[in-house]
Amino acid sequence: MINTVRFWLGDPAPDWVIGQVERKTDRYERGIPIEDICIGLVSFKDGTKLLIEMDTPITHKLEWFHVVLECTDGLLIVTDEEAKVLSSNGWSKLKPVEDKTTEFSQLIDWVEGKVSMHRSSGYQSRIDMEIMMAIYQSSRSRSLIRMPLKTLENPLFAMIRSGELPVEKPGKYNIRLPKELWGLLKIP
Least confident among 3-12, 143-152, 175-184:
175-184
pLDDT tens digits, residue range 51-83? Answer: 888 888 876 665 667 777 777 788 988 888 889
- Over residues 9-27, mean pLDDT: 96
pLDDT at residue number 61: 63
Tell whether the model's pLDDT for residue 173 goes beyond 70: yes
φ and ψ at residue 63, rounded to 5 degrees: -130, 120
In a domain, 181, yes or no: no
More confident residue, 70 or 173: 173
In a domain, 183, yes or no: no
- Over residues 172-181, mean pLDDT: 86
Question: What range defines the domain where residue 55 resides?
Answer: 2-171
Please state, as a whole number, how many other Cβ atoms lie within 10 Å of the Cβ of residue 176: 9
Tell whether the model's pLDDT for residue 39 goes beyond 70: yes
In a domain, 50, yes or no: yes
In a domain, 188, yes or no: no
In a domain, 177, yes or no: no
> Among residues 109, 115, 155, which one has the least CA distance to residue 131?
155
In a domain, 158, yes or no: yes
Burial profile 25-61: b = 16 or more Cβ within 10 angstroms, e = fewer: bbbbeeeebbbbebbbbbbbeeebebebeeeeeeeee
In a domain, 90, yes or no: yes
Count of domains for the chain: 1
What pTM did the predictor assign?
A: 0.83
pLDDT at residue number 162: 97
pLDDT at residue number 81: 84
pLDDT tens digits, residue range 116-155? Answer: 887 778 888 999 999 999 999 999 999 999 999 999 999 9
**Which residues are within 8 A (CB) of 163 and not within 5 positions of it... i.e. 6 or more apart?**
none
Q: What are the distances in angstroms from CA 18 to CA 38, 41, 94, 136, 147? A: 11, 5, 30, 9, 11
In a domain, 176, yes or no: no
pLDDT at residue number 45: 97
pLDDT at residue number 33: 94
CATH code assigned at 46? 3.30.360.10
